[in-house]
Amino acid sequence: MAITKEQLEADILALNGAIGSGVRSATVGGQTVTYNTSASLIAARNDLQAQLDALNGRRRRTRQTYINYGGRGYDR
C-alpha cells in the first residue's frame, strides 16, 4: 500500500509539532510512536521529508561551502 502526499504531509506536521513541543512521541501513520531521543525524531522527520520531496520530483540539495582565501601577503 503506497502512502499519499497528504499522509506524508500530515505525518511531517505531527513530527514537527512533537519536535517543537519537546515531546518524544508522535502519531505517524495512524500509530503512536515513541522515539528514544530527539535526534531520532528529527531523523524520522527528515526521512519523511525526503520521501515527500521524491514524490514531488524535487532533488535534495547538498550543502556546499566555498572558502575564499585571500592570503596575508606572506608569500613575497
Kindly write down the DSSP assignment for every residue of 44-55, as one continuous string. HHHHHHHHHHHH
Instruction: Write down the pLDDT at residue 61.
Output: 67
Residue 76 confidence (pLDDT) above 60: no
User: Quick one: average pLDDT of 53-64?
Assistant: 77
* pLDDT at position 73 over 70: no
Cell of 32: 503512536
Q: What is the mean pLDDT of the chain?
A: 85
What pLDDT shows up at residue 40? 93
pLDDT at 75: 60
pTM for this entry: 0.71
Cβ contacts of 71 within 8 Å, gap of 6 or more: none
